[in-house]
């Protein structure tokens, strides 16, 4: 049963999974909490200082008036308050006798809600001249003759300063949001740049260039330590893979010579054989020897492509011209077996940096596969397409195709699928094509041609 493809995540789901977004939100929340805490502390401290200053002013006025009353009575108190600006309404004072009758002051009477408490209080009061009640900070004292004294200062300056402070805090909070977002974006870009450099090296290594290394500085930065550790791992992998490729290359070379001698001697024996049974046996021996030689050649080509051999000799290759040349070569062969090869090319050249020999070999392998397995469909389509960052060579047949769940198996070394795609071959054709694609910074993708198989060779541009 073919597995159902996973649906692509929506924009919102992708954003929710974004590490960058999580970092920005976390940094913004941390910035707002920190800024809010600092602003709240600043507001509370400033407010307390302003209130304390006003309390000191009122307490000083109260103590001065108590002393004035002791020295000169109510007249001295009134004169002192007029000197301090009581006529303007910013300051209030009131002296009442033990019976709470007004002796002097700019209030019409002792506030009923005030009672006899002498600690600092805030009340809204109206002066004796009338008008709107205003907020005052007040303090009281008991006089030597049993009367009581009330002294107060309006809260206009305090409230104005508090409003200015609150406005400044609101502005600071508003500035903290874009500032926090900006800093988070900057930090994210810096981290993404470092991670992007590591990812770029990993991508090149995955493409077969095991010589790539991550740039590091002094090694004390966490990213530098990560880069140093990854570089050590890559060096070890490069050493092991080089030894493996060298071993495979040496074995193929060492085996090719004796197989060549076996083929040569079998050919001489076949030329001298005069009975039919010996001829059949020698023909079978030559066929098996030829198959082994093809296997060794294919193994060498795959190993060299996977090792990156040939990358230094890349040159400009016109994929449209390459496809056209191979169509001319394989067109007659297709007609001989009752098929036709269609060519779909863009209107202009499609040039990439690559190895013309390896690209021709890869495309030839795909065409030969289509000729071998796509006969029932009667046609093969060879196409070249171009995109901003890559180009594609594709070969599509109308044969039985490959089930989706077995396409990865078809790309493995010596992978041979039954029953439709097991005729001949050594099981390295698609493996070689995939290795050539990786050598050119791309990949081989097998798709459903409905019916048939569409093999797409993706090649990087630039």
Domains of the chain: 12-205 (3.30.450), 222-306 (1.10.287.130), 311-460 (3.30.565.10)
Task: Give the tens place of pLDDT for each residue, 197-243.
Answer: 898 998 878 766 778 898 887 767 788 888 889 999 999 988 887 78
* pLDDT class of 294 with cuts at 50, 70, 90: confident
Flag whether pLDDT at 309 surpasses 70.
Answer: no
Task: Give the tens place of pLDDT for each residue, 53-69.
Answer: 889 988 988 888 999 98
Find the DSSP H helices in 350-428. Answer: 356-373, 407-410
Q: Which residues of 392-410 are buried (b: 16+ CB within 10 A; e: fewer)?
A: bbbbbbbbbbbeeeebeeb
Under 8 Å between Cβ of 367 and 380: yes
* pLDDT class of 422 with cuts at 50, 70, 90: very low
Predicted local distance difference test score (pLDDT) of residue 355: 85
Predicted local distance difference test score (pLDDT) of residue 401: 84
* pLDDT class of 412 with cuts at 50, 70, 90: confident
What DSSP assignment string belongs to 280-301? Answer: HHHHHHHHHHHHHHHHHHHHHH
Of the listed ranges 110-114, 150-154, 234-238, the one predicted with least confidence:
110-114
Torsion angle of the four alpha carbons 431, 437, 441, 447, in this order, in degrees rounded to the nearest 10: -90
* Residue 94: strand pairing partners: 105, 150
Nearest-Å Rg of the Cα atoms of the chain is: 46
Single out the residue of 119, 103, 123, 97 nearest to residue 111, CA to CA: 123
Single out the residue of 106, 122, 104 nearest to residue 114, CA to CA: 122
Cβ burial of 227 (10 Å; 0-12, 13-18, 19+) is buried
Under 8 Å between Cβ of 335 and 280: no
Predicted local distance difference test score (pLDDT) of residue 321: 93
Map tokens 């200015």 to a residue: 164
Assigned token pair, 274: 């005069």
Flag whether pLDDT at 421 surpasses 50.
Answer: no
* pLDDT class of 417 with cuts at 50, 70, 90: low
The mean pLDDT of the chain is 81
Of the listed ranges 114-123, 192-201, 358-367, 447-456, the one predicted with least confidence:
114-123
* Residue 149: strand pairing partners: 95, 141
Flag whether pLDDT at 271 surpasses 90.
Answer: no
d(CA 21, CA 185): 9
* pLDDT class of 461 with cuts at 50, 70, 90: confident
Predicted local distance difference test score (pLDDT) of residue 319: 93
Tell me which of 119 and 70 has the higher pLDDT. Answer: 70
Flag whether pLDDT at 394 surpasses 80.
Answer: yes
């Amino acid at each position: 049963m073919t597995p159902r493809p996973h649906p692509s995540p929506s924009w919102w789901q992708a954003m929710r999974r974004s590490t960058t977004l999580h970092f920005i939100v976390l940094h913004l929340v941390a910035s707002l909490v920190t800024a809010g805490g600092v602003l709240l502390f600043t507001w509370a401290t400033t407010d307390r200082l302003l209130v304390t200053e006003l309390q000191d002013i009122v307490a000083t006025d109260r103590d001065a008036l108590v002393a004035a009353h002791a020295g000169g009575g109510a007249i001295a108190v009134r004169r002192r308050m007029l000197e301090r600006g009581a006529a303007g309404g910013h300051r209030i004072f009131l002296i009442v006798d033990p019976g709470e009758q007004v002796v002097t002051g700019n209030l019409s009477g002792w506030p009923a809600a005030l009672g006899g408490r002498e600690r600092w209080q805030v009340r809204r009061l109206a002066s004796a001249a009338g008008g709107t009640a205003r907020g005052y900070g007040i303090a009281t004292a008991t006089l030597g003759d049993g009367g009581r004294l009330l002294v107060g200062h309006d809260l206009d300056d305090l409230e104005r300063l508090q409003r200015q402070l609150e406005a400044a805090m609101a502005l600071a909070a508003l500035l903290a949001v874009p500032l926090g977002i900006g800093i988070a974006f900057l930090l994210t870009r810096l981290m993404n740049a470092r991670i992007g450099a590591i990812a770029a090296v990993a991508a090149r290594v995955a493409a077969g260039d095991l010589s790539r290394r991550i740039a590091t500085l002094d090694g004390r930065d966490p990213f530098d330590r990560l880069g140093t550790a990854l570089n050590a791992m890559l060096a070890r992998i490069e050493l092991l893979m080089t030894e493996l490729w060298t071993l495979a290359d040496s074995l193929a070379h060492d085996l090719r010579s004796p197989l060549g001698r076996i083929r040569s001697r079998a050919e001489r024996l076949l030329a001298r054989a005069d009975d039919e049974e010996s001829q059949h046996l020698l023909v079978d021996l030559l066929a098996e020897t030829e198959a082994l030689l093809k296997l060794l050649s294919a193994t060498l080509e795959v190993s060299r492509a996977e090792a990156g051999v040939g990358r230094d000799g890349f040159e400009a290759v016109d994929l449209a011209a390459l496809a056209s040349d191979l169509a001319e070569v394989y067109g007659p062969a297709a007609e001989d077996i009752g098929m036709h090869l269609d060519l779909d090319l863009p209107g202009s050249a499609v040039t990439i940096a690559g190895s013309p020999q390896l690209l021709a070999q890869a495309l030839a392998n795909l065409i030969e596969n289509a000729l071998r397995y796509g006969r029932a469909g009667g046609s093969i389509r060879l196409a070249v397409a171009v995109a901003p960052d890559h180009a594609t060579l594709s070969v599509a047949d109308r044969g039985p195709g490959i089930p989706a769940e077995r396409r990865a198996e078809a790309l493995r070394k010596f992978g041979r699928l039954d029953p439709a795609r097991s005729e001949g071959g050594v099981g390295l054709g698609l493996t070689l094509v995939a290795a050539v694609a990786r050598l050119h910074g791309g990949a081989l993708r097998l798709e459903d041609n409905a019916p048939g198989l569409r093999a797409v060779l993706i090649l990087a541009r630039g």
